[in-house]
Structure 1
Amino acid sequence: MSSTSTTLTRDASGEQAPRLWSSRFAFVLAATGSAVGLGNIWKFPYITGENGGGAFVLVYLLCIALIGLPIMMAEVMIGRRGGHNPITTMKNLAAKAGISARWQGLGWLGVVGSFIILSFYSVIGGWAVSYVGTSATGTFAGADADAVGALFGNLLGSPSTLLLWHTLFMALVMVVVARGVRAGLEKATTWLMPALFVLLLMLVGYAFTTDSFGQGVSFLFSPDFSKLSTEGVLTAMGHAFFTLSLGMGVMMVYGAYLPKQVSIAKVSIAVSLMDTLVALLAGLAIFPIVFANGLEPGAGPGLIFQTLPLAFGQMPGGTLFGTLFFVLLVFAAWTSAISLLEPVVSWVEENKGISRVTSTLVAGAAIWTMGLLTILSLNEWSGFHPLGMFATFEGKTIFDLLDYLTANIMLPLGGLLVALFAGWALRRDSVQDELGMGDSAMFRIWYGLLRYVTPIGVLVVFVYNLI
């Protein structure tokens, strides 16, 4: 089936609806929703803080252009060319190109990677949901570092509490995906993404009123290359790749729903710009608050769940703005989780001959069950290190191993294979036809980056993560 077909899928009401995005804007919102997640609002600020600020941001932006954008265009192009879930798409494209059927493994890598990532991403999304209520009830007001730390510790130490929030978060995700492309994914992101931007701008507006806003701007945008290490450069390369939801089949399946007349280059550039804008706005919202309260910008992963609550508890209007911040975090996690479930549901629906709703229930239940491993790793099984006999994995719980497997192996490998498949395995004229760019200068630049620069960049990050 080509990507231009009018394949139909049943939504939750039983009515048939086109299995295509209604417009270019709908795709941009959905793909941006996938890209904008905990990585932008949780990870980007703290790794920027750990690596000196402005110089790191500059390298990150360069890596988005040279590594992230070329792979995104390639993955969307492959998805639209195939018009199916990632596994079937790779199988069919390889057959049409007369190349090895083993390329189907790229599709499996994406679907399995999405499955594993969502199993622990849902648990972390549950933390954000939990913190909305915690902040709204004024629990952080006047709390000191020990009290805030104890709150987080108590959350992680209670399997039943984590199970409750994990279940609620997965239910939110499944409700959207079960409704299909237009009634579910598209409608949800049409509401959630504008709401996310409004919340973020409100938080930036608050940060602007603090005496430390200028310090936050300077920290983000004044490069000091003496503070940037080789490790920082590689971290920027890795995050530029991961932040765009690449290598996990998401952009491939979203590309399968993209109408033929829409420019892949234009929508990919729009998504990259919007994703980067959210990351920078998150930095502008967070760093002035951090500096105004004398906190450490390089506080690491605890920045969002331990450091910022401390700041919200001490500042005027902290209960309101703390609550808004965690609602923002939930929205970001929700839109990303929706995209992670879609490749799995799409494969189940197409290959098992069952309805969209049933496919979502089956896939969602399996992912929810796997999430129990992460929950128990944070408390009851925290001392269980399955591969502790190897130095690299010493002290790693099951949750740590799942995170390592996906972030350090599966996603970089998936991105590398996407670049090699689009740049070397597919015929150049097939790629040109799908992109609709002809043999323009823009196409030649992108094709050159995809064939030579991007694979080397991803390979360097891949090897670095394994060392």
Structure 2
Amino acid sequence: MAVKSDAWGSRVGLILAMAGNAVGLGNFLRFPVQAVQNGGGAFIIPYLICFLIMGIPLLFIEWSSGRFGGKFGNHSTPYILDSMVKGRLLKYIGVFGIFTNIAVAAYYCYIESWTMSYVYHSIIGTFDGMSQADVATFFSEYVDVGHSTTGIPYESVIFYVVCLIINTYILSKGLKGIEKVAKVGMPLLILFGAILAIKGLTLGTSGASDIFPDANAWDGLNFLWTPQYSSLLDLKVWMAAAGQIFFTLSVGMGTVHCYASYLDEKDDVALNAVSAGFMNEFVEVVLGSLIVVPIAAGYLGLDWVIENAGFGMAFQTMPYLFQQWGGLIAIIAGVLWFGLLFFAGITSSLAMGTPWIGFMRDEFGWNQNKGAWSFGFMALILGLPTVIFFQYGVFDEYDYWAGTVSLVLFAMLETILFSWIFGMGKGWPAITNGADIKIPVIYKYIIKYITPVMLIIIFMGSVFKPLDNDWSGNMDNLISGKSWVLDNGSIIKTITHAGIKEQIATASNSAVITQLQDKMFYLNFARFMLLGLFAFISVLVYLAFLKRRREGRATT
């Protein structure tokens, strides 16, 4: 049995690192937006149910799978799965667990670099005196490489490269480096979040103005926390809630498997999984809901928030709102908010490098330093197009295929493998052995039946997403014998660029048509890069298989 080449220094460090892996930018940027767009309190009940019957089971599966594979010296998903199930082709499902991390890190670090830049601009007073429209324009110009917001040429590229270098350097120090960042970053993140949340709770109507006389921070809180039981019958809300679980827990990526693979065979995985999961939920549901929405509602009104809710609110609106607090407090708030986002981002992005490093060390003998810097180099090559061609949608294309579709597909496949091929006869002991808590036996059946069905529904729902995301209306149409109309956001129509082609067909301006055609070119280029990465990793997995067979280590 192989000896682990790296190990966690303490259980606290492991839990904080695993929680840091889960706690990311989505907790503060995506969760509030998803909640607002799906009816506020109407979103909360389906979301919490999805956490219990899909999120927790996936954490159990990935923690126990990682620990199981780790005792055979495997620290990445291709050969973690290979150690669990027999079948030459099944190891290639594990390619997703390396591919997704490199591809997501490539553009995720770009968002992370925004937070670094905004901390800098908050300190030097760039946002002083800006209107909300000015702050929004600042963001638009920042992500346009051709513009310079403060006279720094290629500012967005510089911050992106610096951010990648910081990530890569920490990764080169191994698990100890990640653990140290988690032990500092997670407490600071919670502290910064708590300070801003208190402001959101106490703002009340003090931010109301002549333009928004009815602004009230409590309206935002009431909107988010007033349950609406009718949402239990709205499939659209359930789909959005289930989708958020993937983003918030970082499941379906392979990072959890990798972290857990460094545990000893008798180390607990059940309590660790629950602890990391609930810490993430506290940060997301409590802190995440107390900052952006109430503060924005307190100054701009709830109606404005509902109408303008989007990922960019954190960068296009919050700096303006902080300026309303005046002088030094505005600077402190900016540093706290964007510093919080930076720590949330880096504790997640660091996790993304570990599967590649573990795979190259296990299969080809690479050391930590070589693995880390090769990861950084690949992320740079893959990520620069998301920076340079951001305006053409390359960033969004990466996020869709690598950060959305890939996660759901891998989670669905690994759950089926764990529950039905590896089998719950071995799977349940893999979860419960060494557990410091008693897991309700109902989870044995949830993992085997309910979680796989939910994941299949989510994946098929992405493939056949209905027009305008109107699930109820399209189900009624289908029952009455009418056709199911696909939305341009469905996987089927996204593959064919149906939405862009419709815009080209209706456009009368030649310049607009050329711009749309250029966008299709860059989106195809993004797909080529992603497919190339997946093929490259698949080849490495095959070469590793040949190497293992020569050495007598291959299982099939």
Unaligned runs of 5+ in 1: 9-18, 383-396
1:318 and 1:446 map into 2 onto residues whose CA distance is 47
User: Offset at 1:265?
Assistant: 1.6
User: Offset at 1:443?
Assistant: 5.6
Q: Does 1:297 align with 2:294?
A: no
Q: Does 1:363 align with 2:375?
A: yes
Q: Which moved more, 1:441-450 or 1:266-275?
A: 441-450
Amino acid corresponding to residue 310 of structure 2 in structure 1: G
Mapping for residues 136-175 of structure 1, pairs under 5 Å: 136-158=123-145, 160-175=154-169
Matched-pair identity in %: 27
Assess if the C-alpha contact under 8 Å between 2:270 and 2:439 holds in 1: no
Q: Which residue does the alignment assign to 1:326?
A: 338
Tell me the TM-score normalised to structure 1 length.
Answer: 0.88
Tell me the TM-score normalised to structure 2 length.
Answer: 0.74
1:162 and 1:59 map into 2 onto residues whose CA distance is 38
User: Offset at 1:42?
Assistant: 0.9
Assess if the C-alpha contact under 8 Å between 1:377 and 1:398 holds in 2: yes
Mapping for residues 414-433 of structure 1, pairs under 5 Å: 414-433=410-429
Mapping for residues 20-35 of structure 1, pairs under 5 Å: 20-35=7-22
Mapping for residues 144-293 of structure 1, pairs under 5 Å: 144-158=131-145, 160-182=154-176, 184-211=177-204, 212-225=216-229, 229-280=234-285, 281-293=287-299
Q: Deviations over 1:337-383 (max 9, x none)?
A: 0011111121122222221111111111111111011112214xx2x
User: Offset at 1:167?
Assistant: 0.7
Assess if the C-alpha contact under 8 Å between 1:75 and 1:252 holds in 2: yes
Assess if the C-alpha contact under 8 Å between 2:266 and 2:433 holds in 1: no
User: Offset at 1:230?
Assistant: 3.0
2:8 and 2:143 map into 1 onto residues whose CA distance is 39
Q: Which residue does the alignment assign to 2:117?
A: 130
1:445 counterpart (442, 445, 452): 442
Assess if the C-alpha contact under 8 Å between 1:179 and 1:357 holds in 2: yes
Q: Which residue does the alignment assign to 2:355?
A: 343
Amino acid corresponding to residue 102 of structure 2 in structure 1: F
User: Offset at 1:6?
Assistant: 4.4
Distance 1:315 1:465, change over 3 A: farther
Assess if the C-alpha contact under 8 Å between 1:143 and 1:314 holds in 2: no
Q: Which residue does the alignment assign to 2:471?
A: none
User: Offset at 1:321?
Assistant: 0.8
3-state DSSP of counterpart to 2:315: helix
1:78 and 1:443 map into 2 onto residues whose CA distance is 19
User: Offset at 1:436?
Assistant: 3.0
Distance 1:219 1:27, change over 3 A: same
3-state DSSP of counterpart to 1:21: coil
Point out which structure has higher relative CO (alpha carbons under 8 A, 6+ apart): 1
Q: Deviations over 1:312-346 (max 9, x none)?
A: 12234322212210000000000000011111121
Assess if the C-alpha contact under 8 Å between 1:423 and 1:447 holds in 2: no
1:406 counterpart (363, 379, 402): 402
1:254 and 1:57 map into 2 onto residues whose CA distance is 29
User: Offset at 1:165?
Assistant: 1.3
3-state DSSP of counterpart to 2:264: coil
Q: Which residue does the alignment assign to 1:393?
A: none
Q: Which moved more, 1:361-370 or 1:216-225?
A: 216-225
Amino acid corresponding to residue 94 of structure 2 in structure 1: G
1:409 and 1:306 map into 2 onto residues whose CA distance is 27
Q: Which residue does the alignment assign to 1:389?
A: none
3-state DSSP of counterpart to 1:354: coil
Q: Deviations over 1:184-231 (max 9, x none)?
A: 111111111111111111111222321145334322221134578432
User: Offset at 1:428?
Assistant: 3.4
Q: How many residues align?
A: 433
Unaligned runs of 5+ in 2: 147-153, 205-215, 465-556
Amino acid corresponding to residue 450 of structure 1 in structure 2: I
Q: Does 1:37 align with 2:24?
A: yes
Assess if the C-alpha contact under 8 Å between 1:170 and 1:368 holds in 2: yes
